[in-house]
Structure 1
């Protein structure tokens, strides 16, 4: 489970005891560099962040690359939309194909914009991963409180974080039971099992929510969480 893994890693970070304000300040500096440096500088920042993150978390570079690959599909789609242009003047293109009365291809400006977008996005993504992987959730709550974030918003974030784990635990339990009963042996059977998983997941999460509400009532919950 990705969320559980990230949460555990934040507790084994070499910077676990560092104040959350300092971590947030470092992240702001990284983001400023990611958006202001040229592509060469952004690539260098990306490499530096990779080494720094792996050293702090005591993980391999291969594992870090797998984390970075998670949102890569969305990033590549965005870069491709910047890279390709539609024009009626093909002489300005590096290469292209005719589509009716227009040409679809790559211009020098599109190539430069796509290159800049790619490295800027990768550097910003690596900086954000660095913050997430080195900031345990209790420190995030502390940072939000010191930042004068409204209490109700902090409580919503806390509950959402808690229910992410509940959702993943229930989904894993249902999927494990279905797998033991060969629920994903064939493609049609897999689709039926997936539909059942979604339906059961909604029901079981509601039951967990009701159980939590009963627990809070038994502890004389007055509408405020202790933060």
Structure 2
């Protein structure tokens, strides 16, 4: 099983490009994302969006849907930077008085939040570009050529494998619950979700035991062929 993101990496126009070149390009755009001015970071974000959509043959709307997932967490952090507490009202652009202090937006907080927002968006777009254009076998090859310890590479490989097992089992349980109207009402939805979590843990352990038995049958000696 492969996720939609994993399948897209195989249809990229840069699929045949060496993983080392993709990684070096990612380092360059990450350096730009971290060092440019906010205006430059916004321009880099737009260029990366267009370039990623062209490489993967996808629409801008689909790319934006993917970006919207981490942006929600990013905005929470930006809001905490944006608002400040100060005892001097003249330092606040706008805000509300809370006793002897003011809660509001200061010029320093606005500049810091603006810089953090565009820097994070540009870096996030750059990382998305790498993930969407680097198939997992090429990532393993890149780790091997980079002399990453074999144990760490095997851990990454197993983690990647179990992500798909987890998603597969969760989708199967959710589909069965939906067919039985398990999410028809909000209370039923909470009850079904609790059952899903419990069953998911049990079924993943069973899948792990099945994989361990398969490895024993194949005379597994503690090392994966990478």
So what's the TM-score if we normalise by structure 2? 0.99
How far has the Cα of 1:6 moved from its partner?
Answer: 0.6
So what's the TM-score if we normalise by structure 1? 0.98
Q: Let me know the Cα RMSD of the aligned residues.
A: 1.0
User: Is the aligned partner of 1:202 residue 2:201?
Assistant: yes
CA distance in 1, matches of 2:4, 2:27: 24
Segments of 4+ in structure 1 off by > 3 A? Answer: none
Give 1:163's aligned residue.
162
How far has the Cα of 1:73 moved from its partner?
Answer: 1.1
**SS state at 1:223 partner:** coil
User: Is the aligned partner of 1:140 residue 2:139?
Assistant: yes
Give 1:118's aligned residue.
117
CA deviation map 1:33-76 (0-9, x unaligned): 00100000000000000010000000001111111101111100
Structure 1 unmatched ranges of 5 or more = none
Give 2:34's aligned residue.
35
Give 1:56's aligned residue.
55
**SS state at 1:226 partner:** coil
CA distance in 1, matches of 2:61, 2:193: 31
Give 1:22's aligned residue.
21
Give 2:174's aligned residue.
175
Q: How many residues align?
A: 226
CA distance in 2, matches of 1:154, 1:74: 29
Give 1:214's aligned residue.
213
CA distance in 2, matches of 1:93, 1:214: 65
How far has the Cα of 1:151 moved from its partner?
Answer: 0.3
Give 1:108's aligned residue.
107
CA distance in 2, matches of 1:95, 1:192: 45
How far has the Cα of 1:93 moved from its partner?
Answer: 1.1
CA distance in 1, matches of 2:102, 2:92: 9
CA distance in 1, matches of 2:95, 2:182: 47
CA distance in 1, matches of 2:202, 2:78: 40
CA distance in 2, matches of 1:191, 1:62: 31
How far has the Cα of 1:177 moved from its partner?
Answer: 0.4
CA distance in 1, matches of 2:195, 2:123: 38
How far has the Cα of 1:100 moved from its partner?
Answer: 1.4
Give 1:87's aligned residue.
86
